């Protein structure tokens, strides 16, 4: 754009864009085959994200369980097993389980995928494909 209004050039510039290529397309403008392929793609993406989340949660739970067993064994071997140690271990276990339960809540990425899948499903139902 530096070349405009340089030297003896005066006047208006009109730029006509006659391209028909669209990068993004609304679901309502897609045909049934495109919607079905998009649905399969989003299901794969959603499954991959959920698998990643559950694997991470299980690794954290396994790590906490191993640490709790090690600590319990340590206290038992040294004869320091008492009610306070038991309650502390129980509270740590509950905290771990609460964290795992919280990991089941969908993330914003998952919500976006679920919303898109719901919209695709509604459009396909309106078109009597389902």
**What pLDDT, in 10s, does the model give residues 62-89?**
888 888 888 888 888 888 878 777 888 7
Instruction: Write down the pLDDT at residue 14.
Output: 76
Q: Rounded mean pLDDT of 103-117?
A: 91
Which residues have CB under 8 Å from 32's CB, separation 6+?
A: 124, 127, 129
- Answer yes or no: are the C-beta atoms of 130 and 121 closer than 8 Å: yes
Q: How far apart (Å, rounded) are the C-alpha atoms in residues 119 and 108?
A: 16
- Answer yes or no: are the C-beta atoms of 61 and 100 closer than 8 Å: yes
- 8-63 pLDDT, tens per residue? 666 777 777 777 776 788 999 999 999 999 999 999 999 999 999 888 888 888 88
Comparison of pLDDT for 75 and 2, the residue scoring more: 75
Q: How far apart (Å, rounded) are the C-alpha atoms in residues 124 and 88?
A: 54
Residue listed under structure tokens 């392929």: 37
Instruction: Write down the pLDDT at residue 8.
Output: 67
Instruction: Write down the pLDDT at residue 2.
Output: 57
Instruction: Identify the CA nearest to 60 among candidates 95, 108, 111.
Output: 95
pTM: 0.62
Distances (CA, A) of 83 to 86, 87, 88, 89: 5, 6, 9, 10
- Answer yes or no: are the C-beta atoms of 79 and 8 closer than 8 Å: no
- Answer yes or no: are the C-beta atoms of 113 and 49 closer than 8 Å: yes
């Amino acid at each position: 754009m530096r070349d405009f209004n340089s030297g003896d050039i005066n006047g208006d510039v009109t730029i006509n864009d006659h391209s028909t290529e669209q990068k993004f397309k609304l679901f309502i403008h897609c045909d049934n085959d495109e919607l079905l392929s998009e649905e399969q793609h989003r299901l794969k993406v959603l499954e991959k994200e959920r698998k990643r989340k559950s694997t991470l949660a299980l690794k954290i739970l396994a790590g906490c369980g191993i640490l709790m067993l090690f600590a319990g064994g340590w206290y038992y071997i040294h004869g320091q097993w008492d009610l306070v140690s038991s309650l502390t271990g129980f509270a740590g276990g509950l905290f771990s389980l609460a964290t795992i339960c919280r990991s089941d809540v969908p993330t914003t990425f998952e919500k976006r995928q679920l919303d898109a899948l719901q919209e695709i499903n509604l459009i396909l139902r309106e078109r009597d494909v389902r």
